[in-house]
Structure 1
Amino acid sequence: MSKTLPPSALRRVHHVALNVHSMEASRHFYGTILGLRELQGSDIPATLIDLVAAGKVANFVTPDGTVIDLFYEPDLSPPNPDPQRQFTRANHLAFDIAPELFDEAVAVLRDNGVPIDHGPVSRPTGRGIYCYDPDGFMVEIRCDPQ
C-alpha cells in the first residue's frame, strides 16, 4: 500500500504563478481591474527583487494572503482555443507545507511514482519540489525555512 499525506498536511495555497504575454496588460487587470495589491519594496520576496526590478515578474496578493506571481513571457503563444488545453498560461500551483513534513511529502511523491520536474531545492525562502499532476500541470510543494 502506498503512503499518503494526512488530510491536513497541505495547509493552504502558497502562490499561483502565471506566464503572461503582456506585463502591462496583466498588471492592469490584476491590480487595477481586480483590485489586488501589488507587492512593493520590502514586501517583494528577496529571491524575486531583481526580476521585479527588471520587469520580468510582478507579484499581487489576494485578501487571504495568496500570492499571484506574473512571469513575463513576451514570446508566449496565444491561449489554445480548446478548453481542454486550459493550462497554456499557467506556470505552476504551489502548496505550503510545514517544514517538518517536507521530507515526508517528497517521499510520498516518490513512493507514488509522481513525475518530478526538479527538486528538492533549497532557497533562502525555504525548500521546494516541483512535480506534475496527472494532466501534466506543474505543482510545487514548498515550506518556509526552519
Structure 2
Amino acid sequence: MFETKGLNHITIFVENFDRTLYFYKEILRMRVVHQGGHYAYLESGATWICLSGEEIGQARPSRLEQLHLALTVDDADFEQAVQHLRDHNVPIVRGPVARGVGKTVNFLDPDGVEWEFHTSNLAERMRVIAEMERSKA
C-alpha cells in the first residue's frame, strides 16, 4: 500500500509571465531556481512552484476560484507580511484575521490565484479541533 508524502509542486499557468514572475520573486520572496523562455521554477520551503506562460494555460478552463494555496509565515512576521502586501497594492480578499488557530490573510496574485499567509500548522489545528470536539461531548 502506498501513501502520498506531501505536496510535490504546484504549476500555475499565467497570462503575463513577466508580471507574475515579479510577483512571486519580489512580493512573495520566492527563490528562482531556474528560468527559461516563458517558464520558471521557484522554491518556497520544501515546495517548488512552476510558473508557465505557455499558451496551453490560456486554453484550460480555470477552476482556481474553487481553491486557495497557503504559505506558512511566522507569527512574529505576520504583520510585516501583511504590510508588505499592502505596500505593493496586492488585492487582499479576506483578513487579516486571527482565527482559533493562527492568523491568516488571503490575497490574489496577478492572475487571480488566491493565496493565504497562515501562521499555524496542522498539529495546532488538530489540537484546537480536538478541544472543540471535547467541549461538545
* TM-score between both structures, scaled by the size of structure 1: 0.42
Quick one: higher RCO (CA 8 Å, sep 6+), 1 or 2? Answer: 1
* TM-score between both structures, scaled by the size of structure 2: 0.45
| Larger helix proportion of the pair | 2
